[in-house]
Structure 1
Amino acid sequence: MPPVDNRPSPFNSESQSLSDNGPIECLIICTKAHHTELAIKDISHRLTKDSTICLVHNGMGVLDSINQNVFPDPNNRPHYIQAVFSHGLGRNDSFKISHLGVGTTILSPVGAPNIPPTSPEADHTWAPSTKYLLRLLTLTPPLVAVADTPAGLLQYQLEKLAVNCVINPLTALSDCTNGEILYSFSFTRVMRLLLFEISAVICALPELQGIPGIEDRFSPERLRRLVVNIASNTAKNHSSMQQDINQRRLTEIEYFNGWIVRRGEELGIKCALNYMIKHLVAAKAATHRSREAGAIPLDLDNVISTNEPPI
């Protein structure tokens, strides 16, 4: 699991009315992956086993972290809906978002049987709050939202993960736009090698075994075409990870390439390049922070004291 961030929460719950202590039936969380757990923890006392939380974030592994650190008792956990969101958004200010491009929203309850959400069986399977929130979101035209099975949603999540594992770190490390990674032979070689590892891990996931067409859908070549398509369509954009690095914010690398590395270890698949990319991004972020803080080097073995002449 990614390390828990113990820093103060960026969400100011004190700004809410003191009377806002009643139970929350439906909650939608649209934050960075590493902020999701903190956002939920602040109001966990208002969430019950009858509540439903809709998680809208990039990356993988967030739900496991929430269950482990916020709701460790399975009998008292809320219900979850996960979403894959492809609309274009821009943050203007706190609580002010611009809708920059129309996409789609794919939703699925977590832990439900792999039955279509619109089937009659779903009415007897999901909590009332889950059914209400699914219906509300799918009937909101601007969201272009559809419901899918958990297995179907997982495949969309993994496709988006593969794209993010390439575009985000490469643009962050090189400080370039999304489209610029398509015009360098060196970039394309790194892209292919990353995707070979990512494809191997995804195709070996136990959650996907028995689903027809997985090896074709997640082949390195098809994933490469997805990356090229997204990079071309967003050629002038700066990735979120590049912006996070430049603005000295935490990145989501642990939930992108870091997740691939961890799952690869569980499956006996070595992901050396993803491991290197993960640490290069972390190192670049740390370098920016240390420059501003005037940090002391961690390795002092070869640092010459200013009080002694060089040997």
Structure 2
Amino acid sequence: MRIVRLSTKFASLPRHQFRGTCTRLLHSSARMESVQTGRETPPAWLQRIVQDSTKPPKLYAWTLENLSADTEAGAGSRQVGSHGNADADRRIYILGVGNIGRLYAMCLSKLANRPPITLVVHRKELLEHWAAAPGIELTRHGQVHNCAAFDIEWWTDVAPPPCGAPVAEVAAGGHISNLIVATKAGDAVPQVDRLRRYLGSRSTVAFAQNGMCKLWPPAGEAYVRARFPGATSPNWIACVTTHGVTSQGQFKSVHAAPANALVGPVMAGSADDEQTGYLMRTIADAPDLDARQVSRKELWIAQLEKLVVNAIINPLTAVLRCKNGEVFAPRSDALPDVIDRLVGEASELLGALILDSKSDEILLSGSVSKGVVSGDATIETLRVGREELLARFSFTQLRAFVADVGAKVSANTSSMLQDVQAGKLTEIDDFNGWLVDTARLLGNGLRLPTHEKLIALVKGKATLTRPELCERLL
């Protein structure tokens, strides 16, 4: 575990010694990359997309009016909002109406100058459920809040039957200006890729799920080249949401742990700043979301930190079938050693990522302007930025960060355990799997064996006691 031992050790050195060690690591990393680039392995999701040459499908937007005429929904139900052209640039589509989608929808609906909002569900049954009992219910601080002032659609490649209602294509066959993707992490990019017929340079797409956004460099650049050649790429942004939300059924959630959110850019498209900034500003202004706009670099760092927390608390609670706090409760077993190993492997991986040239663009964002500063100034900016992040992602700092978050969310049930209890697929591939995939993408032979074992346990639906888990992972 080369990098984590160095970073853990030299994080406490005097500043001049720390800088010297960091500089030597930078030169070592550059040499290593130059001889090992050919061993980089793209993630499986990117390989599947690059190898897929099929055209994006034409999709129909089923509304309440398109439901069968002999159902209660077809007997006069109407959309609340309007899909007129005047609303196109302000309209926000929320794809995925689970816990996070409901939270964002309810907070956006409280804006004084609220935008038109369209909820996009993934099954016809959900559209029918809304027709029978319209509205989102969100319980916050013991008070129940209801809102039905949304449009709602089901997007499918199957055209609605002719029953007197209009048959409409998604976004009236035009482009989607603002899209919040609130699906599970594993579905986010595939769902967006399916919609690329309706996305272009005038679109802004916000990813609002747990885990790292998959479109950070270098994978994001490869995806955009494959799917949006020329100047046709949307503006890609992401949200880091620390609110705790628990499902209580269809369109019902409890805002169990109000917190905050961050929103910022991941990859810039070709649209002007005013247009691309609209969705970020609207999210940041939403009441009760307590969100703020951040720089690209700050967003990247926040996602990495939250990823480490998710990659430890979520799978451990899923296997142990326990609340978050039980993972950190003192017992006469080796679970603290398990956490140490998971944190140590994550720290080593993040150290390698920071030192890799693929991260240069992010480290420089917000610090320097291309073509304005000299090469020496750029090198100095990178060196200082890497110094700071190697310390921030050292084993000692990450271990303390995980413990601090664990104490704050001790009474909560992790999203992964909720998925396991509901018989749903988990996001293990987007938490621990992202770390493992990134190690392969860097191509330097780095391995994360404890994370790999934990992935296998979660995918195998294992239920273990603390001593059993420790025996399997250590």
CA displacement 1:101-149 (0-9 Å, x = unmatched): 3212111112359xxxxxxxxxx98543311112222222322121111
Secondary structure in 2 matching 1:166: helix
Relative to the length of structure 2, the TM-score reads: 0.52
Deviation at 1:97, TM superposition (A): 3.6
Q: Quote the residue 1:31 is aligned against.
A: 183
Contact 1:33–1:57, Cα closer than 8 Å, also in 2: yes
Aligned to 1:86: 242
Partner of 1:47: 199
Structure 1 residues 70 and 172: CA distance shift in structure 2, 3 A: farther
2:445 corresponding residue in structure 1: 268
Partner of residue 457 from structure 2, selected from 261, 280, 289: 280
**For the Cα contact (< 8 Å) 1:50–1:127, is it kept in 2?**
no
1:160 to 302, 306, 328: 306
After superposition, give the CA deviation of every residue in 1:275-307 in whole Å (9 maximum; x if it has no partner).
Answer: 11112211227xxxxxxxxxxxxxxxxxxxxxx
Q: 1:256 to 1:10 in 2, by over 3 A?
A: same
Residues 41-78 of structure 1 deviation map (CA, whole Å, 9 limit, x = unaligned): 45332222210001111112533479739962343221
| Residue 133 (structure 1) aligned to one of 257, 260, 279 | 279
Q: 39-48 vs 138-147, which deviates more?
A: 39-48
Q: 1:80 corresponds to which letter in structure 2?
A: W
Q: Is the 8 A contact 2:236 2:268 kept in 1?
A: no
Give 1:244's aligned amino acid.
D
Of the candidates 95, 102, 108, which is equivalent to residue 258 of structure 2? 102
| Alpha-carbon offset, residue 151 of structure 1 | 1.1
- Bigger drift between 170-179 and 16-25 goes to 16-25
- Equivalent-residue separation in structure 1 for 2:342 and 2:180 (angstroms): 33
Q: Does 1:231 align with 2:406?
A: yes
Tell me the residue number matched to 1:149: 295
Which residue is 1:241 aligned to? 416
Alpha-carbon shift at residue 99 of structure 1 (Å): 2.5
Give the Cα separation in 2 of the matches to 1:216 and 1:262: 23
Residue in 2 that maps onto 1:306: none
Which residue identity does 1:73 align to in structure 2?
F
For each residue in 1:194-223, what CA deviation from the matched residue of structure 2 results, as whole angstroms up to 9, or x when unmatched? 111100111121325641411221111221
Q: Deviations over 1:221-240 (max 9, x none)?
A: 22122222222222222211
Deviation at 1:253, TM superposition (A): 0.9
Q: 1:81 to 1:126 in 2, by over 3 A?
A: farther
Which sections of structure 1, spanning at least 5 residues, go unmatched? 114-123, 286-311
Alpha-carbon separation, structure 1, partners of 2:209 and 2:221:
13
Greater alpha carbon shift after TM alignment, 231-240 vs 164-173: 231-240
Residue 155 (structure 2) aligns with: 13
Counterparts in 2 of 1:98 and 1:23: CA distance versus 1, 3 Å = farther
Instruction: Give the 3 Å change call, closer, same or farther, for CA 31–165 of structure 1 in structure 2.
Output: same
Please tell me the residue identity of whatever aligns with 1:196. Answer: G
Q: Contact 1:2/1:255 (CA < 8 Å) preserved in 2?
A: no
Aligned match of 1:222: 397
How far does residue 100 in structure 1 lie from its aligned partner after superposition? 2.6
1:26 Cα deviation from its structure 2 partner? 0.7
Q: What code does the residue aligned with 1:32 have?
A: K
Match of 1:289 in 2: none
**Structure-1-length-normalised TM-score:** 0.78
Name the SS of the counterpart of 2:262 in structure 1: strand
Q: Deviations over 1:160-204 (max 9, x none)?
A: 001011101111111111111112342111000011110011112
2:321 corresponds to which of 163, 175, 181: 175
Aligned-partner residue type, residue 237 of structure 2:
I
Aligned length: 273
Is the Cα–Cα contact under 8 Å of residues 175 and 202 in structure 2 kept in the other structure?
Answer: no
SS at match of 2:256: strand
Change (3 A) 1:130 1:67: farther
Indicate how the Cα distance of structure 1 residues 70 and 248 shifts in structure 2: closer, same or farther if over 3 A, else same.
Answer: farther
Aligned to 1:72: 227
- Whether the 8 Å CA contact 2:199–2:234 is kept in 1: the answer is yes
Residues 175 and 276 of structure 1: CA distance in aligned 2, closer, same or farther (over 3 Å): same
CA distance in structure 2 between the partners assigned to 1:126 and 1:170 by the alignment: 44
Task: Check whether the contact 1:82–1:110 (CA below 8 A) recurs between aligned residues.
Answer: yes
Check whether the contact 1:25–1:50 (CA below 8 A) recurs between aligned residues: yes
Equivalent residues of 2:202, 2:271 under 8 A apart: no
Secondary structure in structure 1 of the residue aligned to 2:340: helix
Inter-CA distance 100–129: structure 2 relative to 1 (3 Å threshold) = farther
Matched, 1:204 2:369: no
- The aligned residue for residue 133 of structure 2 is none
Find the aligned partners of 1:283 and 1:260 in 2 and give their Cα distance: 19
Q: Secondary structure at the match of 2:460?
A: helix
Asked if the contact 1:241/1:251 (under 8 Å) is kept, the reply is yes
Task: Kindly indicate whether the alpha-carbon contact (under 8 Å) linking 2:211 and 2:430 is maintained by their aligned counterparts in 1.
Answer: yes
The residue aligned with 1:188 is 336
Q: Which aligned runs of 4 or more in structure 1 are off by greater than 6 angstroms?
A: none
CA contact (8 A) 1:33 1:62 kept: no
Rg (Cα) greater in structure: 2
